[in-house]
């Protein structure tokens, strides 16, 4: 009998040694003349257990991790091919509490299937949504997405169905579907995990979008920092074309949908949708004025849907199970589930997909297990580099767009970066300004110049140079950036800066600053 072992081909697992484990496994199996079939998968997103391998037993898939190449011989000795006992045996993978207590609506196939095997995808419910969509009127598809309550997962949380309706209603012979896979926020990796673990799901979601709005052409704009996702997406797109899921006649329906992968070139601002469109058109990624909205005049001046990877990837299940099914998850106006990413100094980092409503505290402690360093959590930054730094007093905030905004924060793309008590919040505030200076597209002055001035002011403040004045100056500068910037890079950089200053003022008073204050 041949045993099947699953090992991720996903980037984080690889960064922790998955390739050597796979190699050692194949060698050891050959040496023992055991028939072992190795299937390369995406990652489940339980990163502290990576490289994690799974063995198919008659009862369930049993997990072992974290495995290093040196453990492989011992695993064979322990009979791991039949789920044998070993210190790395984690039991049935689906019973690991971190995973068991999730609501994986969008990310259900991650780590389960071979990401580039279409049969595997279909065997796990793949393309059921497209099949339903092909039997529906475009307007009915748009309505299903609207009714599901899905809001954009890229950061701005705009209702996806309303955006699609605008493009659907817009006149135009040519329309485009653009997937924003620029995932620039530090602390986020759900787009990457989805593309590396379940690329057909994204392709299916974009194809459904094409049917819904009458677009026959699509692009995935992927950041060049993601070479593994590039490989998986390239393979998956070619496979989908070969099987008739993409091309001039999608599944014999007579409707066309062409899809191309395009690589970014290391510019954070190209995650902003108008800048992304400029980049796709072959220009500098500078922000466009809005209006006109991309939905009306987007790529090459045509009506364009721009959505995040997770937004598109959430569409197939909505079309498969119905809008109401999706809408039944969540709280308030945040419907469905969010793939949350636990990052930074966290003991159990990874992907936690939960319906909206779970609190920050549950995520940080019940799932995350506190810091990796074992020290107390001092601050978290949610929503990427433009998100506020929050202290412990905010940890009971539920994951909900309105609750976060109400607390002066932003849920963004759902990344949570954890810092322990060794963090220097003045350094974090300075970095926020520095990052803005490095990544500014240069179109408007508050951001282009303000960010550099911001670094200087913080330097003087921390050095204790006329601190009261510098504080006033910094707040005034933040006010200008907040209100005077053309886009959210300049407009939101004040959030991490001011939150650091407001919640952690002690970090801005070095001994020198204290002395200066006394004088």
Partner 1 sequence: MSERKRVTIPIRVEPGTDLPAAERTAVLEAVNQNRALEGSLLPILHAIQDRLGWIPPRTLPLIAYELNLTRAEVHGVVTFYHYFRQHPPGKQVIYLCRAEACQAVGAVSLEAHAKRALGIDFHGTSGDGRYTLEPVYCLGNCASGPSLMIDRELYGRMTPERFDDLIAADAAGATSAAATSAGATRA
Ligand X SMILES: Cc1cc2nc3c(=O)[nH]c(=O)nc-3n(C[C@H](O)[C@H](O)[C@H](O)COP(=O)(O)O)c2cc1C
Task: Summarize as ranges the residues that interact with ligand X (CB under 6 A).
Answer: 152-156, 158, 180, 182-184, 269, 271-273, 306-308, 311, 487-489
How would you class 60 by CB atoms within 10 Å of its CB: exposed for 0-12, middle for 13-18, buried for 19 or more?
A: middle
Assess contact for 304 and 178: CB atoms under 8 A: yes
- Judged by DSSP in three states, 126 sits in coil
Residue 485 touches which member of ligand SF4, ligand X, partner 1, none, C-beta under 5-8 Å by kind: ligand SF4
As measured in angstroms, the least distance from the Cβ of 106 to partner 1 is: 17
265 binds partner 1 (CB under 8 A): yes
Answer yes or no whether residue 195 interacts with ligand SF4 by CB under 6 A.
no
CB of 436 to ligand SF4, least distance (A): 7
227 forms part of the interface with partner 1 (CB under 8 A): yes
Q: Where are the alpha helices (DSSP H) in 124-226?
A: 128-134, 138-148, 160-169, 190-197, 199-213
- Judged by beta carbon distances under 5 to 8 A according to partner kind, the member of ligand SF4, ligand X, partner 1, none in contact with residue 152 is ligand X
Determine, following the binding rule CB under 6 A, whether residue 269 of this chain makes contact with ligand SF4: yes
| CB-based contact 447:486 (threshold 8 Å) | yes
d(CA 324, CA 222): 31
Which of 486, 492, 498, 500 is in the footprint of ligand SF4 by CB under 6 A? 486
Residue 230 binds what, of partner 1, ligand SF4, ligand X, none (CB under 5 to 8 Å, by partner type)? partner 1
Residue number, 292 or 442, with CB nearest to ligand SF4: 442
Closer CB to partner 1, 7 or 317, in the complex: 7
Let me know the angle formed at the C-alpha of 216 by 238 and 168, rounded to the nearest 5 degrees: 140
CA distances from 29 to 60, 89, 139, 293 (A): 21, 19, 54, 57
> How many other CB atoms are found less than 10 A from the CB of residue 14?
20
Return the one option of ligand SF4, ligand X, partner 1, none that residue 472 interacts with (CB less than 5 to 8 A, by type). none
Interaction between residue 329 and partner 1 (CB under 8 A) = no
Candidates 163, 165, 168, 192: give the one binding partner 1 (CB under 8 A). 192
CB of 442 to ligand SF4, least distance (A): 5
Q: Is 110 within 8 Å of 102 (Cβ atoms)? A: no
Q: What mask, x for binding ligand SF4 by CB under 6 A, covers residues 443 to 482?
A: xx--xx----------------------------------
* CA distances (Å), origin 304, targets 163, 168, 178: 9, 10, 7
Indicate which of ligand SF4, ligand X, partner 1, none lies near residue 443 (CB less than 5 to 8 Å, by partner kind).
Answer: ligand SF4
Residue 14 C-beta: closest distance to ligand X, Å? 22
- Cα first-last separation, the chain: 82
């Amino acid at each position: 009998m041949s045993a099947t072992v699953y090992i991720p081909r996903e980037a984080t697992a690889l960064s922790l040694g998955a390739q050597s484990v796979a190699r050692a496994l194949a060698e050891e199996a050959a040496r023992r003349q055991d028939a072992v079939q190795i299937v390369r998968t995406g990652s489940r997103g339980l990163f502290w257990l990576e490289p994690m391998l799974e063995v198919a037993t008659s009862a369930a898939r049993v997990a072992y991790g974290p495995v290093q190449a040196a453990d492989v011989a011992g695993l064979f000795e322990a009979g791991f091919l039949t789920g044998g006992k070993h210190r790395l045996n984690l039991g049935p993978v689906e019973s690991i509490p971190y995973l068991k207590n999730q609501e994986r609506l969008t990310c259900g196939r991650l780590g389960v299937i071979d990401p580039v095997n279409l049969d595997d995808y279909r065997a796990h419910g793949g393309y059921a949504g497209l099949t339903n969509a092909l039997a529906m009127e475009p307007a009915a598809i748009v309505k299903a997405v609207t009714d599901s309550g899905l809001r954009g997962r890229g950061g701005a949380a705009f209702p996806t169905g309303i955006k699609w309706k605008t493009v659907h209603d817009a006149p135009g012979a040519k329309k485009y579907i653009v997937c924003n896979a620029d995932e620039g926020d530090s602390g986020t990796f759900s787009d990457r995990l989805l593309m590396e673990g379940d690329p057909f799901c994204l392709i299916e979601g974009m194809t459904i979008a094409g049917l819904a709005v009458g677009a026959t052409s699509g692009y995935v704009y992927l950041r060049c920092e993601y070479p593994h996702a590039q490989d998986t997406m390239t393979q998956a797109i070619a496979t989908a074309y070969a099987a008739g899921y993409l091309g001039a006649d999608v599944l014999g329906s007579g409707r066309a949908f062409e899809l191309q992968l395009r690589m970014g070139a290391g510019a954070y601002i190209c995650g902003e949708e108008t800048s992304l469109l400029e980049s796709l058109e072959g220009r500098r990624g500078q922000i466009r004025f809005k209006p006109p909205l991309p939905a009306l005049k987007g790529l090459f001046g045509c009506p364009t849907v721009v959505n995040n990877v997770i937004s598109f990837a959430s569409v197939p299940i909505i079309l498969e199970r119905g809008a109401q099914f999706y809408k039944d998850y969540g709280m308030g106006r945040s419907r469905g589930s969010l793939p949350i990413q636990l990052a930074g100094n966290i003991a159990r980092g990874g992907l936690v997909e939960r319906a909206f409503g779970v609190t920050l505290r549950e995520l940080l402690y019940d799932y995350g297990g506190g810091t990796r360093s074992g020290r107390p959590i001092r601050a978290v930054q949610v929503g990427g580099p433009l998100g506020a730094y929050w202290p412990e007093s905010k940890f009971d905030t539920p994951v909900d767009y309105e609750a976060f905004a109400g607390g002066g924060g932003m849920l963004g793309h759902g990344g949570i970066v954890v810092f322990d008590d060794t963090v220097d919040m003045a350094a974090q505030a300075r970095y926020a300004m520095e990052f803005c200076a490095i990544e500014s597209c240069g179109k408007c002055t508050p951001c282009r110049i303000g960010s550099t001035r911001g670094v200087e002011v913080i330097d003087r403040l921390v050095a204790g140079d006329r601190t009261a004045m510098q504080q006033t100056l910094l707040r005034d500068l933040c006010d200008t950036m907040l209100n005077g910037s053309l886009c959210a890079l300049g407009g939101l950089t004040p959030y991490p800066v001011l939150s650091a200053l407001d919640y952690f003022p002690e970090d801005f008073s070095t001994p020198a600053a204290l002395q200066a204050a006394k004088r």
